[in-house]
Structure formats: structure tokens, C-alpha cells
Amino acid sequence: MALLLKTEAGRGDSWRRALLAADPGLDLRQWPEVGDPADIEYALVWFPPKGALKSYPNLKVIFSIGAGVDHLASDPELPKGVPIVRMVEPGLTAGMTEFVLMSVLYHHRFMLDYAEQRRNKVWREIDQVPPWDRRVGIMGLGVLGGDVAEKLVALSFDVAGWSRSPKDLPGVARFHGPGGFIPFLNRSDILVCLLPLTAETTGILDARAFAALPEGAALVSVGRGPHVVEADLLAALETGWLGAATLDVFQTEPLPPESPFWDHPRVVLTPHVASLTIAKTASEFVIDNIRRHQAGRPLLHAVDPDRGY
């Protein structure tokens, strides 16, 4: 049994060390030094070239280095019937929760306004809003959205979540399905998008969705860029209906230099770093899952091919 490793550029060595620490006997083949393709039974990948994974006749499981699997699902030549496992590991979850909490608190405490006041040397208080009067809406109540919701509840925010199926989380108002979407948006002063990218969620944040938010709402977009119709977002920011946005993911990445988001005064922008997979904890998850598979036990966090996440 060999594991193929194809990481983001520059991260291969830290992954190699972490995987071998988790399983010193592992036969690890680091892309592009693959050896005999017939040896490869497992693959751990981030953005493999399209069509590449069909070269391994004995491939049994594909592990995504990220929580999102859209980088795999968009490959029309992905081998059929090979299960895909998404990344679920404590480092990735903790990083996302930190990032979303930081962003929610930033907008909640008017930090963009204070930054503008500072540029103009203005010394002025803005009325403080208690967290229980700030309605935060989380799109996607899965591994990441669920953890974010729990921590926001602990900070006393008025939290709601929207998911495909109904979800019971302590202290979180629940909305689900297409019927729950607009009522959910209507009560989201700060909207966090933590959905996976699927055919159903592509373009979900459009002019209609922004119009359903309360005036002056803020968006924290950390799922995937194509969730957002960027022209509609810009228009909503220009009119002031949307008060601010934290954007970590974009339609085109890296964000092109001509994008108006770079210089937009109401936008906080980061280069798709809301959370990164941590090689050590992720390697433990992957090796444990390989052992489960070899023992004939069900894989943890396998993607449902019908739902696409």
C-alpha cells in the first residue's frame, strides 16, 4: 500500500514529516515522484491536475487536504466510485473559529468606522451594542459552522444557523432549506457564509439575498468565492445597504490586481487564509482513516456523492 501526496507548493516537506511521524512505516510517494502507479491505493491531495487521479488503477480512497472538495469535484475525469474524504481536523476547525470570531467582533465593534475616523483624526464614540442585541447568522452548520455557532453563543450573541436539514444546537435559532433562507437572512445583522460549494450553493449570495438582510448588515465570506455574485456584492456595498464585508475567498484566486475589492474602504480582505489545515493533526486523521479502511470499517467524513459535500 502506498499513499500519494500532492500538496500546495512549498508545503510537501512539512506534510512528509507529519505523515511519517503518524505512521513511520508508511510508503509515501510525493508528487511527482510516484513510482509504479499500481502501488498507489490512497491519495492525499490539494488541487491535483485535472485527470491526474485516473492514472492509479488501484486507488481506493481520495483524501482532500481541505474541508472543501470542490477542487476535486470539478474534475470531470475523477475516477468513478472512489470515495472522497474531506478534511476534518482540530487545527482547521480552531483556525476557522478564530477567524470568524475575530471578523464578527471587528464588525460588531465598528472597527472599520474607527479606522476611517483615525484616518481623518476624528475622536468620536459610536454607541456600543451588547452582543445579545447583535444577530449573527451562520450559513452552514456543519463541522466549522457548528463550532463557530457554539463559540458565538458563549460570547452571548443572538445566533441563528441555516442548513439543508434541521439542526439542533443549544442557543442557536434554526432555519433550514430554501423556505427558511429569507427569514434567516432577515434576522442576520452579521452574515457568515460557511457553506460548501455545490451546484445548489453557487451564486447563493446575490442581489436578492443582500436585499433580504437588514440595512447596514455585514458579510463574512469564508466558504468559497463563487457563493457570492461579486457584482451584486459591490452594488450592495456602494449603496450602503450592506455596511461592510470581510472577504477571504473570491471568484478568481489569486485576486486580480484590478479587482475593486482591494481598495474598497468597507472591505477587509485576506488571501484565502481564514483557516489552514495543520499537517500534524491532519496526518493523524488521515492515517487513522486509512487504518479504518484497511480494517473494513466505515471511513470518517466521506463525501456523499449525491449531496456533493
Q: Which residues are catalytic?
A: 224, 272
The rounded distance, in Å, linking the Cα atoms of 169 and 180 is 16
Pick one of ligand NDP, ligand OXD, none as the site partner of residue 164 (Cβ within 5 to 8 A by kind): ligand NDP
Point out which residues pair with 215 in neighbouring strands.
none
Give yes or no for residue 66 binding ligand OXD (CB under 6 A): yes
Considering only residues 79 through 138, tell me which ones interact with ligand OXD, judged by CB under 6 A: 87, 92
Binding mask 15-44 for ligand NDP (x = CB under 6 A): ------------------------------
Among the listed ranges 16-24, 62-70, 229-237, 238-246, the one in contact with ligand OXD (CB under 6 A) is 62-70
The SS3 assignment for 25 reads coil
CA 119 to chain centre: 32
The rounded distance, in Å, linking the Cα atoms of 10 and 6 is 11
The residue among 7 and 277 lying less far from ligand OXD, judged by its C-beta, is 277
Instruction: Choose which of 18, 78, 89, 145 interacts with ligand NDP (CB under 6 A).
Output: 145
Give yes or no for residue 196 binding ligand NDP (CB under 6 A): yes
Q: How far is the CB of 94 from ligand NDP (least distance, A)?
A: 12
- Residue whose C-alpha cell is 447563493: 204
The rounded distance, in Å, linking the Cα atoms of 203 and 227 is 5
By CB atoms closer than 10 A (0-12, 13-18, 19+), residue 258 is exposed
Residue 105's nearest CA partner among 4, 190, 206 is: 190
Among the listed ranges 8-16, 127-135, 267-275, 284-292, the one in contact with ligand NDP (CB under 6 A) is 267-275
The residue among 47 and 241 lying less far from ligand NDP, judged by its C-beta, is 47
The rounded distance, in Å, linking the Cα atoms of 155 and 132 is 9
Contacts of 93 (CB under 8 A, 6+ apart): 143, 144, 147, 275
Instruction: Choose which of 52, 56, 68, 259 interacts with ligand OXD (CB under 6 A).
Output: 68
Q: How far is the CB of 72 from ligand NDP (least distance, A)?
A: 11
Give yes or no for residue 67 binding ligand OXD (CB under 6 A): yes
Instruction: Choose which of 248, 259, 285, 293 interacts with ligand NDP (CB under 6 A).
Output: 248
Give yes or no for residue 165 binding ligand NDP (CB under 6 A): yes
The rounded distance, in Å, linking the Cα atoms of 266 and 230 is 14
Among the listed ranges 15-23, 26-34, 221-229, 234-242, the one in contact with ligand NDP (CB under 6 A) is 221-229
The rounded distance, in Å, linking the Cα atoms of 163 and 195 is 9
Size of the site for ligand NDP (CB under 6 A): 32
Q: How far is the CB of 166 from ligand OXD (least distance, A)?
A: 25
Residue 230's nearest CA partner among 200, 198, 205, 264 is: 205
Instruction: Choose which of 163, 188, 259, 283 interacts with ligand NDP (CB under 6 A).
Output: 163
Size of the site for ligand OXD (CB under 6 A): 6
Backbone phi and psi for residue 51, each to the nearest 5 degrees, phi listed first: 85, -15
Between strands 2-6 and 28-30, the pairing is: parallel
276 touches 92 (CB < 8 A): yes
DSSP conformation class of 217: E
Residues that bind ligand OXD (CB under 6 A): 66-68, 87, 92, 277
Residues that bind ligand NDP (CB under 6 A): 66-68, 92, 96, 140-145, 162-165, 167, 194-198, 200-201, 222-224, 248-249, 272, 274-275, 309
